[in-house]
Amino acid sequence: MRLALALIAVFALVVVAAPARAEIEVNVNRGDVQPLPIAIPPFGGPQGPDIAGVISANLQRSGLFRPLDPSSFVEHDLDPAVQPRFPLWKQINAQALLNGQVTQQGGQLRVAFRLWDVNAEQQLLGLEFTSTPDNWRRIAHKISDAVYERLTGEKGYFDTRVVFVAESGGRGAKVKRLAIMDQDGANPSYLTDGSFIVMTPRFSSNSQEITYMALRPTGSSVYLFNLETGRRESLGQFPGMVFAPRFSPDGSKVAFSVEHAGNSDVYVMDLHNRASVRLTSDPAIDTSPSFSPDGRSIVFNSDRSGSPQLYVMGADGSNPHRISFGDGRYTTPVWSPTGEYIAFTKQTGGEFHIGVMKPDGSDERILTSSYLDEGPTWAPNGRVLMFAREAANGASRLWTVDVTGRILQPVPYPLGGSDPAWSPLLQ
């Protein structure tokens, strides 16, 4: 794996004496936000236009920025070391300007860039990143994250990956392969060969490790797979089926379901000593456990009330209580990385929805509707959800929606996919 790359923010070009207050900012909490017009001219030097293009696409897809058409730009060939001619950028209504220069020296790609507040005529950010040329997309994602964070005040989510199940073939004849790609759909690669069913991969929230389930006629297995070392191991043998694995926030445990004689319950395994503890013992279906980010609680899915609903319990199984009371069937709960929300799949009438609610069940909001939307996963900053949308003809694609429900779009991965899981920010 090529993950252990050294991507270094070498130094800040900013004079950080007293960063004058920027006049522009993007409020991520408003559902009616007007995207910020930003000019991103092609960076100079080798792969400069490619890097600017990836940044522009990232920011556009966030829904919070509106990259301007480069053909409208008046000033060209900007040198990041020289202050831009702000009136020429005001004239095309750019509020922010991002320019950069790429140089190659000693087998390394060095990308210096500056972010400007056009109206205030001041620099907001000046950084440079250095890496090997084959990592140019990661540099672009790093710059996207820096710009996003500077203008929204929140961490970005662009230098991340998504593990998912790549699907080919029609319904009833689907081949499913474990796959991983950049969050923007680039660089897909496949981790299993499709000779058996894989499902529900999940990322650790603090390392490049995933857990997933494999299903064969002889039974099911849950695996841990370290993407950096390639080490793959099974959680072990269980009396019945084992499924629905998910890491604890510190990565030291995995919660999952074990089925015995038809009844599914939630268990948690300590990965250090491989000891499992049973957390639920209800004759109902108990599955899809997901830890709160503080590790103290687990939200899970149970039909103990007669239909699938969401429940929260202590991480030791104590005090399970129902939190979903709306009209419909609730499944696949996933606690947000910020702790603020629980995302879920909801089934009402003939449709499926992705929604969010507060951990006490209040403030439920439905974000999507279609024939079959399923299985949300959170971007590490808790602002965007990715999920699978299956059409009535069986074709399943990955989509994203922001937490306000305003920005809904397919992921630019051209093939079929399901069960996405978002990585933490790469190191």
Partner 1 sequence: MVSIPDRKTALRLALVATAAASMAACASHPKPAYPTTRPSAAAPAPRGETAPPPAPVSQAAIPGSEQDFVINVGDRVYFDFDKFQIRPDAQPILDAQSAWLSKYPAVTVRIEGNCDERGTREYNLALGARRANAVRDYLVAHGVASGRITTISYGKEKPIDPGSGDEADQHNRNAHTAITGGAAAR
Residues contributing to the site for partner 1 (CB under 8 A): 170-174, 176, 197, 199-200, 215, 217-220, 240-241, 243-244, 257, 259, 261-264, 285, 287-288, 301, 303, 307-308, 329, 331-332, 345, 347, 371-372, 374-375, 390, 392-394, 418-419
CB of 355: closest distance to partner 1 in angstroms?
13
- DSSP designation for 370: B
Of 275, 273, 279, 272, the closest CA to residue 258 belongs to 279
CB of 215: closest distance to partner 1 in angstroms?
7
Q: What is the CA radius of gyration of the chain?
A: 23
CB of 396: closest distance to partner 1 in angstroms?
10
CB of 31: closest distance to partner 1 in angstroms?
27
Return the residue matching tokens 């994250």: 145
CB of 196: closest distance to partner 1 in angstroms?
11
* Cβ closest to partner 1, residue 253 vs residue 353: 353
* Cβ closest to partner 1, residue 18 vs residue 261: 261
Q: Report the distance separating Cα 356 and Cα 333, nearest Å.
A: 9
Q: Report the distance separating Cα 300 and Cα 334, nearest Å.
A: 8
* Cβ closest to partner 1, residue 18 vs residue 392: 392
CB of 183: closest distance to partner 1 in angstroms?
22
Contacts of 361 (CB under 8 A, 6+ apart): 310, 322, 323, 324, 325
* Cβ closest to partner 1, residue 194 vs residue 412: 194
Q: How many helices, marked H, and strands, marked E, lie in the chain?
A: 3, 30
Helix pair angle (48-62, 136-152), 10° resolution? 40
* Cβ closest to partner 1, residue 195 vs residue 393: 393
Q: Which tokens in the block code for residue 45?
A: 């030097």
Return the residue matching tokens 């996405």: 420
* Cβ closest to partner 1, residue 170 vs residue 414: 170
CB of 417: closest distance to partner 1 in angstroms?
13
Task: Tell me the DSSP string of 56-68.
Answer: HHHHHHHTSEEEP
* Cβ closest to partner 1, residue 124 vs residue 299: 299
Of 193, 187, 185, the closest CA to residue 168 belongs to 193
Q: Where are the alpha helices (DSSP H) in 309-379?
A: none
CA distances from 178 to 59, 72, 209, 261, 335 (A): 28, 43, 14, 29, 23
Q: Where are the alpha helices (DSSP H) in 63-206?
A: 86-90, 136-152
Contacts of 382 (CB under 8 A, 6+ apart): 336, 337, 338, 340, 341, 403
Q: Which tokens in the block code for residue 392?
A: 């009535």
* Cβ closest to partner 1, residue 41 vs residue 308: 308
Q: Is 157 helix (H, G, I), strand (E, B) or coil?
A: coil
CB of 420: closest distance to partner 1 in angstroms?
12
CB of 403: closest distance to partner 1 in angstroms?
20
Backbone phi, psi, residue 306, to 5°:
115, -20
* Cβ closest to partner 1, residue 230 vs residue 350: 350
288-300 residues labelled b (16+ CB within 10 A) or e (exposed): bbbbbbeeebbbb
* Cβ closest to partner 1, residue 61 vs residue 389: 389
Q: Is 412 helix (H, G, I), strand (E, B) or coil?
A: coil
CB of 286: closest distance to partner 1 in angstroms?
8
